[in-house]
């Protein structure tokens, strides 16, 4: 065989071997994203972005440390690729105590995109129910003391076509003073 053929075939193999890891990383989609070292759109007072390093972001004058609480994966749009559900928790100063930022990220057109974001004070949590996200948290009405919420709220965000929509909102008076909500399937179906 000719030396040119060997040189060209060697060059082709080098090209294929260098591009294969890039394609493999992209094929993993959102699961290949390191959410422990990531910059998020953040909703708390004046802050617009927050960057986590090794799962935490330092204190600021507005709040204490922010940390990555959880990352879950679910295929909301049923396209065969998972979306990432990310929860960030922040201890706050003054009467707020604690907030959680809830995100959903998708991997589209070769990059990660935020497709959902909500924030709640003193939340009871977020659960995935089928193609829906359910967030439970206290809520306040005008004139209520911030330290002691008197109402509970459950918001259900349903995946429709290509985004999440608020499908239902239930508010309840906290008659027993427990300030807790246990999420039962019958509450989520309404």
CA 164 to chain centre: 13
50 neighbors 66 (Cβ within 8 angstroms): yes
Per-residue pLDDT tens digits for 63-95: 788 899 999 999 999 999 999 999 999 888 766
Q: What is the pLDDT of residue 187?
A: 44
Domain boundaries of the chain, sorted by first residue = 33-188
Is the per-residue pLDDT at 172 higher than 90? no
Q: Look at 21-25, 77-81, 85-89, 186-190 and tell me which has the smallest mean pLDDT.
A: 21-25
Q: What mean pLDDT do residues 121-142 have?
A: 89
Which residues on adjacent β-strands are paired with residue 153? 137, 171
Per-residue pLDDT tens digits for 105-117: 999 888 999 999 9
Q: What is the pLDDT of residue 28?
A: 73
Instruction: Return d(Cα 64, Cα 137) in angstroms, integer.
Output: 20
Q: What is the pLDDT of residue 2?
A: 54
φ and ψ at residue 150, rounded to 5 degrees: -105, -5
Instruction: Return d(Cα 136, Cα 169) in angstroms, integer.
Output: 10
Residue % of the chain over a pLDDT of 90? 43
Q: What is the pTM of this model?
A: 0.76
What average pLDDT is seen over the chain?
79
Taken in order 180, 185, 186, 187, is the CA torsion positive or negative?
Answer: positive
More confident residue, 115 or 12: 115
């Amino acid at each position: 065989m000719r030396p040119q053929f060997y040189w060209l075939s060697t060059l082709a193999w080098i090209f294929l071997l260098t591009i294969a890891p890039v394609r493999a990383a992209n094929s993993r989609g959102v699961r290949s994203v390191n959410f422990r070292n990531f910059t998020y759109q953040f909703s708390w007072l004046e802050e617009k972005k927050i960057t986590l390093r090794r799962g935490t972001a330092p204190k600021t004058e507005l709040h204490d440390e922010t940390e990555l609480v959880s990352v879950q994966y679910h295929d909301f749009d049923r396209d065969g690729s998972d979306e990432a559900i990310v929860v960030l928790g922040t201890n706050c100063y003054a009467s707020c105590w604690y907030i959680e930022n809830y995100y959903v990220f998708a991997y589209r057109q070769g990059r990660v995109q935020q497709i959902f974001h909500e924030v709640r004070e003193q939340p009871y949590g977020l659960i995935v129910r089928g193609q829906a996200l359910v967030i439970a948290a206290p809520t306040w009405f005008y004139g209520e003391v911030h330290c002691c919420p008197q109402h509970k709220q459950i918001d259900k965000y349903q995946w429709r076509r290509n985004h999440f929509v608020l499908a239902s909102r239930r508010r309840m008076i906290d008659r027993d003073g427990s300030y807790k909500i246990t999420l039962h399937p019958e509450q989520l179906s309404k």
